[in-house]
A and B are shown apart, each in its own frame.
Chain A
Amino acid sequence: MEPNPRMKWLPWVSTPVVLVLVLVVWQLAVSVFGVSEFTLPTPAQVAGALGGLLTDATTWGHIAITLAEVAVGFVVALATGVVVGVVLGRAEWLERALRPVLVAVQVVPKVAFIPLFVIWFGFGVTSKIIMAATLAFFPIMLNVMLGVRSVDRGHRDVMLGLGAKRWPTFRDLELPSTLPYVFAGMEVAVVFAVIGAIVGEYLGGSEGLGYLVVVSLNALDAPQLFAVIFLLAVLGCLLYLVVNGAKRFVIPWHESVLGADTP
């Protein structure tokens, strides 16, 4: 469906409207319908808790830790995912040979590995980085594999007809036609990396936003729980925007960039 260029302003109006509506319903649920403030704190209470968190230096330490885990895990997943994806995409026999293993690894809920990672790599950041990387690896690898195989036949014929050698064929054809797939994988992977790091922090360790969630839960501090979730949402959005911005910069010619004028 072709987006109507005249509707470009719509999300800029609809998003605040939706936000305000959510806040109103939320406030009403507490003050009019009598939902216990213990389970559902008012927006004001959450804002207060958020303010308290942000003025506390240790919160920023937690944010930095989680961000570092996500970033390192994501970069590791990107590097390994691209390499493995290219190799499996090229060597079809290898992919066929490994397919049962790959499927098996993929269908296992990866978060079940976290206790293992904790045993192997301890309660520090390493186990969280590995968890983030494990979750982010698959979407990147699968997309790259698909991308390597999806180089347009007609485009290949052009290069073949021109007698292009291996390196120019990679530089001018294979790399640019695979990049959109890499970015599609990255957009999914960055979200997965956050999940991996947070769940890792739930289960072990004493730092990071996931740890802060557990602390808030143990204290039954619902306002702070909401506030941390809000921080996580902001973190996720920022990371997504970074990947999306990189995409716009690297493949400005692609439909997913040109067609998507709206944020």
Chain B
Amino acid sequence: MTRGSHAEAVDDVGTDGAAEEVAENAELELRGVDKIYRARSGATTQALQDISLSVRAGEFISLVGRSGCGKTTLLRILAGLVSPSSGQVLTGGRDLWQGGRRDLAASARFGLVFQDANLFPWFSVEDNIALPLKLRGVDKRTRRARAAELCDLVGLSGFEKSLPRELSGGMRQRAAIARALSYDPSILLMDEPFGALDALTRDRMNLELQKISVVTGATVVFVTHSITEAVFLADRVVLLSPRPGRIRSVTGVEFPRPRSLDVESEPAFQDVVRRLRHELDEEGG
């Protein structure tokens, strides 16, 4: 799969083909992942079925699908918060789950951003951002300096000493992103991080996220239910279909990143959006 800028800005890639092709230098790889939830009553729900996906270093992947299609579960499995029922999660060639236990060294490469900012209300913005560094035993002065640097990056300068409750929703989410970036993770996993924001703020956050992903060179897996957002941000859009969650299609978006909002009005862009929406509609429901 090459990133060009030819007129036909879209190419469909079969999931199997993609997995084989980049398995060698995959930053993040899922191999035949299943997830089965067992309710207390004994009933089982298959949340994910045979998910195989390979993500290159520096790539931006969007996961889209209807509510309940398992995209959050998939992200939580990638993050190591939930273990897969079967299959493997590999990061940099290492298995994330070593004999039923999460490999902490491997998961240290992840930065997580959730739908809610999940800032600790008892810490200032600065202390929230530097929390991962504190857990890693970094001294206070270095933490403070790094927090100031990150506040600058995400546009929160001057709010270092504020409490989370004094910030707007968008600012809190920026702080959450800064926290995830504080220890230079090579992979950013984001679960509908801008879902709770208004459309204008969301556009601005998407632009900034792009800037950040280009500056830091991080690999990003981004869960969203907005097709436009998915296409705008990603190199590849992975469409999940529900019950059980499986990969329906993987669509490449061949506009060079970072992109401006003008991209959204280009016919080729709208074409991709339309096709994905059509696919989603075909599932009914």
Contact = CB atoms under 8 A, between A and B. Distances in A.
B186 interface: no
Contact of A162 (B114, B116, B132, B165): B132
Interface string A154-174: 110110111111001000110
Contacts of A254: 121-122
A254 B121 CA distance: 7
B194 interface: no
Nearest to B127: A172
B274 to A, nearest CB: 35
Interface residues of A, number: 21
A176 B118 contact: no
A161 B110 contact: yes
Interface string B59-90: 00000000000000000000111000000000
A157 B114 contact: yes
A251 interface: yes
A164 B81 CA distance: 12
A253 B118 contact: no
A255 B165 CA distance: 9
Interface in A216-263: 251, 253-255, 258
Interface string A172-184: 1100110000000
Contacts of A172: 120, 123, 131, 134-135
A161 B134 contact: no
A164 B112 contact: no
A188 to B, nearest CB: 22
Contact of A152 (B108, B118, B123, B163): B118
Interface in B98-117: 102, 104, 107-108, 110, 112, 114, 116
Contacts of B122: 176-177, 251, 253-254
A176 B120 contact: yes
B165 A160 contact: no
A176 B110 CA distance: 25
A211 to B, nearest CB: 44
A165 B81 CA distance: 14
Contacts of A253: 121-122, 163, 165
A176 B102 CA distance: 26
B118 A155 contact: yes
A182 to B, nearest CB: 13
A72 to B, nearest CB: 30
Interface residues of B, number: 22
A152 B122 CA distance: 13
A255 B110 CA distance: 32
A255 B123 CA distance: 14
Contact of B118 (A158, A168, A251, A255): A158
A160 B122 CA distance: 18
Residue of B102, B112, B121, B165 most packed against chain A (CB within 10 A): B121
A178 to B, nearest CB: 11
Nearest to A152: B118
A162 B131 contact: yes
Contacts of B118: 152, 154-155, 157-158
A160 B102 CA distance: 10
A235 B104 CA distance: 54
A261 to B, nearest CB: 14
Contacts of A163: 102, 104, 107-108, 135
Contact of B81 (A157, A168, A176, A255): A157
A173 B120 CA distance: 8
30 contacts: A154-B114, A154-B116, A155-B118, A155-B120, A157-B81, A157-B114, A157-B118, A158-B112, A158-B114, A158-B118, A161-B79, A161-B80, A161-B81, A161-B107, A162-B131, A162-B135, A163-B102, A163-B104, A165-B135, A168-B135, A172-B120, A172-B123, A172-B131, A176-B122, A177-B122, A251-B122, A253-B121, A253-B165, A254-B121, A258-B165
Interface of B: 79-81, 102, 104, 107-108, 110, 112, 114, 116, 118, 120-123, 131-132, 134-135, 163, 165
Given A155-B120, A254-B121, 9 more contacts: A157-B114, A161-B80, A161-B112, A163-B135, A165-B135, A172-B131, A173-B120, A253-B122, A253-B165
